[in-house]
Amino acid sequence: MPPKTATQAPQPGQTAPSILRNFCIIAHIDHGKSTLADRMLQLTGVVDARAARAQYLDRMDIERERGITIKSQAVRMPWTVPDGNEQGAEPGTYVLNMIDTPGHVDFTYEVSRSLEACEAAILLVDAAQGIEAQTLANLYLAMGADLHIIPVLNKIDLPSANPEKYAAELAGLVGCEPEDVLRVSAKTGVGVEAVLNEIVKQTPPPVGDPDAPARALIFDSVYDTFRGVVTYVRVVDGSLRHRDRIKMMSTGATHEMLEVGVISPEPVKAGEIGVGEVGYLITGVKDVRQSRVGDTVTSQHDGATEALGGYAHPNPMVYAGLYPIDGDDYPTLRDALDKLQLNDAALAYEPETSTALGFGFRCGFLGLLHMEITRDRLEREFGLDLISTAPNVVYTVTMEDGTEHLVTNPSEYPAGKVAEVREPVVKATILAPSDYIGTIMELCQSKRGTLGGMDYLSEDRVEMRYTLPMAEIVFDFFDQLKSRTKGYASLDYDFTGDQVADLVKVDILLQGEPVDAFSAIVHKDAAYSYGVMLAGKLKDLIPRQQFEVPIQAAIGARVIARENIRAIRKDVLAKCYGGDITRKRKLLEKQKEGKKRMKMVGRVEVPQEAFVAALSNAPSGGDKSGKK
């Protein structure tokens, strides 16, 4: 498909808000957001045929390998609406600011931030798969942000596409007529021009006061080794000019702007950015803590007094320890987490120590895929070798004397008489073909789920609502759901509170001493199987010692599983051939006494490889694939 010749767009800062259109693309995983963004970049001429590549806005290697979008990306595109267009849009040259968003449930926070920078959202649905769980979740986010919704059906060129059926479903969801749903093929480019014209026609222009003191909302930031912190903003009032002095309203820090510009799709310098524009600022600041996502930027002199709304800070759902394999890398890991948090505001961390693993950090994540991606990025971008402990959620433990303890790490589990333990629960929405209702119910009941309700979206598609413990979701729930429904089911979940549960702490003891890295908080019914599984695994991983080593799984003082690592025995009878049996017995008794003494003073050193193998093979879930 030949791209249009690049249109000369108005320069940043000179752009009237009436010709600006800010929109984002939201959809379930794998419904074609990034491919539609590629076609728009080609049609508007900002990416020429030589530079074009699939998923152009997925900049990170890890995004391209996994085929999923992790970071939102903003890009400025010029678009000329021709006279007599079928959509009835006003002819003229417009500036479109597009934000491509992630689709996975773990990155919903990225989506919610992107929505604050827009006035409209394209709701993209696969014409062969229909509405999925994340489609609904993202639609409700967009409606909550009061955005105008433009419904679009993608992949109409697929042999299995059923555009009439899903257009009716989508129209019923959004509240429009089926014929108002746009039909496109992002792969071939069919219908993409019509979408761009509809964006111009339906998206309200941004509203703001150009003469008021400058106010801009920070919706993302990244760390550049050479230039320091690069901050992405949406200007609401006034304008930000090159060499102005600016102030961060939450921290009070002031800086001089060394560079202002827009992303089109590479950074382009500008003299200023005005009302409604999406751009970037560079102040040369190296301290990553001074540019917080959700903060308001204003002028240092005669600046605004009232900050913009900002964002609700996300609460971590899953906690895991991250430890460097080489203890000398601890300062590097601390700096790496600082820089990564700038780019990923949902990441939380605090220092912790483990007797087994040394110094490290207790990190909070939104889900298991978020944890996996964070660890992957730390290893790739900062050259670290890390061990992550088994993930767990936050528990509230109430003792019999009434004291409460928040437990994010099994080693913090209090000793003594426990009155009750509360665990976080989520409200899960599962969309699937109606053939799999029985299978899904069986899975959810085995994971301690409670059915909250069930609705048929159409004759053959059903929406099921379950209340499930978060601890069950973070392990293998997603993988099992996909395998039992042949990949047709989709899952979305929201944190709803906590409930009392029958939970216990399982300790792993080596020669009677607990190893904190292997401790876990599990449901009473699953404690035995967890203990047997980990004791068996450690028996294979820990090398044999000069003395026998018992591996025990225990709940408090009660041992529930045991394995023995047999001692290495030297053949002390090698020189005895024939002769008196008493001499052999004497040598064996002497060896036995020596081993008994050794067992009393000997310590079991668990090799680092055993920790890595035992913890990396712990059960885990999360979407590890899904090409767009």
Parallel, antiparallel, or unpaired for β 358-365 and 348-354?
antiparallel
The token pair at 369 is 């895929």
CA 352 to chain centroid, in Å, comes to 23
**Is there a contact between 247 and 214 (Cβ–Cβ < 8 Å)?**
no
Please answer whether residues 375 and 322 qualify as being in contact, where contact means their C-beta atoms are separated by less than 8 angstroms: yes
**157 is annotated as contributing to ligand binding:** yes
Q: What's the confidence (pLDDT) of residue 625? A: 36
- Considering only CA atoms, give the Rg of the chain: 29
CATH C-level class of 396-501: alpha beta
Helices and strands of the chain, counted as H and E runs = 14, 31
Give the percent of the chain with pLDDT over 70: 79
In this structure, are residues 463 and 440 in contact, taking their beta carbons and an 8 Å threshold?
no
pLDDT digits (tens, 9 = 90+) for 204-227: 888 888 888 888 888 777 777 777
Has 502 been labeled as part of a binding site?
no
The enclosing H or E element of 241 equals: strand 240-241
Alpha helices in 208-347 (DSSP H): 330-343
What is the pLDDT, as a whole number, of residue 622?
A: 37
Residues with Cβ within 8 Å of residue 204, at least 6 apart in sequence: 119, 120, 148
Tokens at 286, concatenated = 């190296």
Residue 156 labeled ligand binder: yes
Question: What CATH number was assigned to the domain covering residues 17-202?
Answer: 3.40.50.300
Q: Other CB atoms closer than 10 Å to residue 501's CB: what's the count?
A: 18
**What length does the chain have?**
628
Look-up of token digits 């998923």: 55
Say what the pLDDT of residue 319 is.
80
Residue 30 is assigned to a ligand binding site: yes
Percentage of the residues of the chain whose pLDDT score is greater than 90: 1
Strands 503-510 and 254-256: unpaired
Q: Which residues pair with 559 in a beta bridge?
A: 554
Domain borders along the chain are 17-202, 215-299, 318-389, 396-501, 504-616
Of 264, 241, 286, 188, nearest in space to 10 by CA: 264
The letter for the amino acid at 292 is R
Q: Is 33 annotated as a binding residue?
A: yes
Selection from 53-57, 146-150, 236-240 with the highest mean pLDDT: 146-150
Q: 406-421 burial, b if ≥16 CB within 10 A, otherwise e? A: ebbbbbbbeeeebeeb
3-state secondary structure of 556: coil
Determine the Cα–Cα distance for residues 402 and 559; give it in Å rounded to an integer: 28
Q: Strand, helix or coil at 17? A: helix
| Whole-Å CA distances, 430 to 26, 254, 400, 451 | 19, 48, 38, 11
385 is in an annotated binding site: no
Tell me the torsion sign for CA atoms 194, 234, 142, 70: positive
Cβ distance 85 to 243 under 8 Å?
Answer: no
Query: Can you give 97-113 as a three-state secondary structure string?
Result: EEEECCCCHHHHHHHHH
> In this model, does residue 510 exceed pLDDT 60?
yes
CB atoms within 10 A of CB 448: 19
Residue 70: half-sphere exposure toward Cβ, Cα within 13 Å: 25
38 among the known binding-site residues?
no
C-alpha to C-alpha distance for 558 and 373, rounded to whole angstroms: 38
**Cα(54)–Cα(454) distance, rounded to whole angstroms?**
39
Scan for tokens 């049996």, then name that residue. 581
396-501 and 504-616 share one fold = yes
Decide if pLDDT at 627 tops 50. Answer: no
Judged by DSSP in three states, 294 sits in coil
Q: Which of 51-55, 147-151, 546-550, 579-583 has the highest mean pLDDT?
A: 147-151
pLDDT at 399 (0 to 100)? 87
Q: For 372-385, what is the mean pLDDT?
A: 84
Beta bridge partners of residue 222, listed in sequence order: 230
Q: What pLDDT score does 362 carry?
A: 86
Tell me whether residue 13 is annotated as binding.
Answer: no
Residues 497 and 593: beta-carbon distance below 8 Å = no
In this prediction, residue 605 carries a pLDDT of 61
Q: Which CATH superfamily is domain 318-389 in?
A: Elongation Factor G (Translational Gtpase), domain 3 (3.30.70.870)
Nearest C-alpha neighbor of 389 from the set 611, 538, 542: 611
pLDDT of res. 104:
55
Average pLDDT of the segment spanning 505-533: 83
A 10 A CB-CB count for 217 gives 23
Gap between the Cα atoms of 582 and 599, Å rounded:
25
Q: Is the pLDDT of residue 618 over 50?
A: no
Burial (Cβ within 10 Å: 0-12, 13-18, ≥19) of residue 225: exposed
Sort strands 92-100 and 20-27 into parallel, antiparallel or unpaired: parallel
| Residue 561 Cα distances to 66, 172, 393, 527, angstroms | 39, 55, 24, 10
User: How is residue 168 written in tokens?
Assistant: 């009716």
pTM, 2 dp = 0.66
Q: How far out from the chain centre does Cα 381 lie?
A: 17
To the question of domain 215-299 being in CATH 2.40.30.10, the answer is: yes
- Structure token pair of residue 126: 């696969």
504-616: CATH topology is Alpha-Beta Plaits (3.30.70)
Sequential DSSP letters for 456-503: EEETTEEEEEEEEEHHHIIIIIHHHHHHHTTT--EEEEEEEEEEEE-E
d(C-alpha 72, C-alpha 101), whole Å? 5
Angstrom distance (rounded) from CA 533 to CA 160 = 44
Of residues 590, 567, 562, 586, the one with CA closest to residue 576: 586
Q: Over the stretch 308-339, which tens digit does the pLDDT of each residue have?
A: 766 666 667 778 888 888 878 888 998 888 87
Of the listed ranges 12-16, 39-43, 415-419, the least confidently predicted one is 12-16
Decide which of 67 and 37 is more confident.
37
Predicted confidence at residue 187, as pLDDT, reads 83
